Amino acid sequence: MTDQVAAETPKPEPTIQQINISYHPEQDRLLLRVGLSDDTELLLWLTYRITRQLWQLLNGGTYLPTADSIQADVLPEQAVEQFKQEAQAAETLKKMDFATEYQPRKSLRNDGALLAVKLELSGSNVKHLEMVCLEGVSVGINLPPPLVLAVCNLLQISVTKAGWALGAKVAPQPSTNNDGAAAGLAEKNKVVH
């Protein structure tokens, strides 16, 4: 008789159940809280620079109306099409629940809130957002189109409370930082999903 080792079926990745973005004046940062289906949560601090970069990465396909949505030099046909897309985005947002208070989870996936210092976005339909943190941890989140729209809406609400301007252009990030705690980012290879 041979011993058979039961093959462990891999656990499915936890899914996002709730997202909250709130402004904390004492930190002058936004706190991104991601509640997951396994009753854990991620906490990430977003600075003004990272928040603007996140907006610029995600907002392109959401068609959320903004003060500078339609430029004066846009052809009328393009303006009408953009208006239709913005109306559809607004209708989708109406169906989402932004009224239910965020429910903290039993445990954190990370030890305290992490400070995001670099963002990378990949994927076509479902976006994959990779956030590199000062602490050397990389946090990956999959964002289907409705979740991208929800995050952009939460960003708009939060930056209004913070008094920040999302439209300001983000300066390119330096490729390396040889001093300080960020220097060890490449050496540490922790990943939180």
Q: Is residue 7 included in any domain, yes or no?
A: no
| Residue range 130-159, pLDDT digits in tens | 999 998 899 999 988 888 888 988 998 899
C-alpha–C-alpha distance, residues 107 and 127, integer Å: 26
Q: What is the reported pTM?
A: 0.72
Range of the domain at 115: 16-175+182-192
Q: Is residue 137 included in any domain, yes or no?
A: yes
Number of domains in the chain: 1
Q: Is residue 4 included in any domain, yes or no?
A: no
- Residue 140 tokens read as 């990956």
- Look at residue 74 and tell me whether its pLDDT is greater than 90: no
